[in-house]
Amino acid sequence: MRFGPRLLMALGAAASLLAACDSAPITGRSQMMLVSESEERQMGLQAYQQVLSKEALSHDAQVTALVDKIGRRIAAAAERPPGELWRAPRFRWEFKTVDNKEPNAFCLPGGKVVVYTGILPITRTEAGLAVVVGHEVAHALARHGAERMSDQMVAQVGATAAGVALAATVGGSNRRYVPMMMAALGAGATVGYLLPMSRAQESEADRIGLVLMALAGYDPREAIGVWERMRAANTGKHTAEWLSTHPADSTRLADIRHWLPEAMRYYRPRD
């Protein structure tokens, strides 16, 4: 029995997609990964270097030390999963503070976390800042950057050609896909297939982040106050949830309250 080239391509793509399945920590959500961990780390590093070349790092020694301290504690928790809840990552963690009034923070693949000073009035305390850093470390732990890029690859080339695209895109040494990585992390996404997945990842990072900060000795109940203050700061800047890459504030708060008992099981206060 002979198969036509289109059918063979479709079968190859299906096999590639099935082979690329993974599961997210804590949630167990099925993930499609068409980007290897080494490619993800390399592209994340290049994107990180591009970001730092354009941003002004904070010269406040106290603030930068605090961000680094919190980051190291949470990263250490990520690297020592209790009961093999997830596979320990192999990242070279970095935590940088950028002098920018925008209330923002983000994580690039491979454990490169950037915190803007504009978020500090909202986080207020060390535990409050741990909420944000835990969320960003969770993005790295769950490999959301690679997953978003994989989604974008499929959206661009079509599912039936994904097997061919794999060999041409990921397997090669071409690094022109760094802009795609940046786009996959928030810029240029389109309503429809990509944005709902992004919202799912943001909610997932909230849940994983609560567990991570608890394991690091920070009270996960601080997340309620942080997101309430974030909601207040967003007053007058409302974006419909179905057009947003983040869950609506009311949805996020309800979910966090639901997940708190899970996180509290791992919480042991530290000095």
Range with the poorest average pLDDT among 166-175, 218-227, 252-261 = 166-175
Using the predicted structure, report yes or no on whether residue 169 has a pLDDT greater than 60.
no
Using the predicted structure, report yes or no on whether residue 118 has a pLDDT greater than 70.
yes
Whether residue 51 is contained in a domain is answered as yes
pLDDT confidence tier of residue 228, bands split at 50, 70 and 90 = very high
CA distance 69 to 44: 22
CA distance 261 to 211: 10
Using the predicted structure, report yes or no on whether residue 244 has a pLDDT greater than 70.
no
DSSP 193-262: THHHHHHHHHHHHHHHHHHHHHHTT--TTHHHHHHHHHHHHTTT----GGG-SS--HHHHHHHHHHHHHH
Using the predicted structure, report yes or no on whether residue 190 has a pLDDT greater than 90.
no
Using the predicted structure, report yes or no on whether residue 18 has a pLDDT greater than 90.
no
pLDDT at 138: 96
Whether residue 163 is contained in a domain is answered as yes
pLDDT at 156: 67
Whether residue 243 is contained in a domain is answered as no
Domain extent, residue 184, equals 5-190
Residue from 40, 136, 147, 222 carrying the catalytic annotation? 136
Using the predicted structure, report yes or no on whether residue 229 has a pLDDT greater than 90.
yes
Which residues pair with residue 114 across a beta bridge?
96, 106
- The tokens for 45 are 């590093």
> Between the CA of residue 89 and those of 49, 70, 170, 194, 210, what are the distances in Å?
21, 18, 20, 25, 18
169 or 15: which carries more pLDDT confidence? 169
According to DSSP, the β-strands at 112-116 and 94-98 are: parallel
Whether residue 200 is contained in a domain is answered as no
Q: Are 134 and 78 in contact (CB under 8 A)?
A: no
Whether residue 68 is contained in a domain is answered as yes
Whether residue 252 is contained in a domain is answered as no
pLDDT confidence tier of residue 221, bands split at 50, 70 and 90 = very high
CA distance 174 to 160: 22
Rounded mean pLDDT of 31-58? 90
Whether residue 201 is contained in a domain is answered as no
Number of separate domains in the chain = 1
CA distance 142 to 85: 12
- The tokens for 216 are 């690091």
Range with the poorest average pLDDT among 12-26, 73-87, 113-127 = 12-26
CA distance 212 to 220: 9
Rounded mean pLDDT of 19-42? 86
Residues 6+ apart with CB under 8 A from 98: 55, 56, 57, 58, 114, 115, 116, 117
Whether residue 71 is contained in a domain is answered as yes
Q: Are 40 and 180 in contact (CB under 8 A)?
A: no
Using the predicted structure, report yes or no on whether residue 192 has a pLDDT greater than 50.
no
pLDDT at 187: 39
pLDDT confidence tier of residue 240, bands split at 50, 70 and 90 = low
pLDDT at 197: 56
> Shortest CA distance to 98 belongs to which of 145, 51, 46, 42?
51
pLDDT confidence tier of residue 237, bands split at 50, 70 and 90 = low
136 is catalytic: yes
